[in-house]
Amino acid sequence: MRRYSSRAAWLLFTTAVFALAGCMSVADPTKYYVLSATPLREPTPAASVSNTAIGVGPVLIPGYLDRVQIVTRGDHDAVEVAMYDRWAEPLESGIAQVLADNLSTRVGSERIAVFPWRGGVARVLDYQLAIVVLRFDGWPGRQVTLDTRWRLVGRDGQELALKRSTINQPVVGEGYQSLVQAMNQALAALAQEIAAEIGPGREAAGGR
């Protein structure tokens, strides 16, 4: 009887050890994504070398997007929060940095700063771009919608532009990777609109 009890206890112990090892070996299914700049397909006149200094930010996002999980929107404005697909950085930070990188290539200047400014950056800016994101979501295999209000201010504090841009970008392919790629393209389209507003003529005026 003792031998049976000892053997049973040993079997229970080894089973528990293997079960624990199995739990520890399960891979974390969470995937992390970052937004990234979209290079110009062809050089444009606006992309010539420039000394224009542009400050990007602040960028404000709605509360439903202020989370690490990626949010999608389906039919009838129903939103879903992904369980295992997340942003690797705060979404507003990613938006600001990608817009800055896109503007750099489209305006042709490396003098691009992202809010918050450090040191005396604010004093040397020719333009400041403030952005309110009203919507930035979509659905894999369908489309992404980027809806923003943005304000461009000159060196003297004068408002140069106050606009609303709504961009619908098709999502090519299923899955969150394709969704993020479409979000990148939507941000590139917004940067192109803003770069056109700055333009060579206004750039010369802003640099005075």
Q: What DSSP string runs through the chain?
A: -HHHHHHHHHHHHHHHHHHHHHHHTPPP--EEE-------SS--GGGS-----EEEEEEE--GGG-SSEEEEE-GGG-EEEEEEEEESS-HHHHHHHHHHHHHHHHHT-S-EEESSP-TTHHHH-SEEEEEEEEEEEE-TTSEEEEEEEEEEEETTS-EEEEEEEEEEEE--SSSHHHHHHHHHHHHHHHHHHHHHHHHHHHHHHHT-
Identify whether the C-beta of residue 125 lies closer than 8 Å to the C-beta of residue 52: no
Question: Within a domain: residue 94?
Answer: yes
The structural domain count of the chain equals 1
What is the structure's pLDDT at 200? Answer: 62
Q: What gap in Å lies between CA 170 and CA 99, rounded to an integer?
A: 19
Question: Within a domain: residue 126?
Answer: yes
Question: Within a domain: residue 104?
Answer: yes
Q: How many residues does the chain have?
A: 208
In tens digits, what is the pLDDT along the chain, a chain of 208 residues? 555 556 655 556 666 555 555 555 568 899 999 999 999 876 655 445 678 999 999 999 999 999 999 999 988 889 999 999 999 999 999 999 999 999 999 999 999 999 999 888 888 999 999 999 999 999 999 999 999 999 999 998 899 999 999 999 999 999 999 999 999 999 999 999 999 999 765 554 444 4
Which residue segment(s) compose the domain that 116 sits in?
Answer: 32-206
Task: Label residue 132 exposed, middle or buried (CB < 10 Å: 0-12, 13-18, 19+).
Answer: middle
pLDDT tens for 68-92 read 999 999 888 899 999 999 999 999 9
Which amino acid would we find at residue 156? D
Question: Within a domain: residue 12?
Answer: no
Question: How many CB atoms are located within 10 Å of the residue 160 CB?
Answer: 15
Task: Label residue 197 exposed, middle or buried (CB < 10 Å: 0-12, 13-18, 19+).
Answer: middle
Identify whether the C-beta of residue 182 lies closer than 8 Å to the C-beta of residue 170: yes
What is the structure's pLDDT at 205? Answer: 47
Question: Within a domain: residue 137?
Answer: yes
**C-alpha triplet 186, 94, 88: angle, nearest 5°:** 115
| CATH (domain of 64) | 3.40.50.10610
Paired sense of beta strands 69-73 and 79-87, if any: antiparallel
Question: Within a domain: residue 3?
Answer: no
What is the structure's pLDDT at 41? Answer: 77
Question: Within a domain: residue 13?
Answer: no
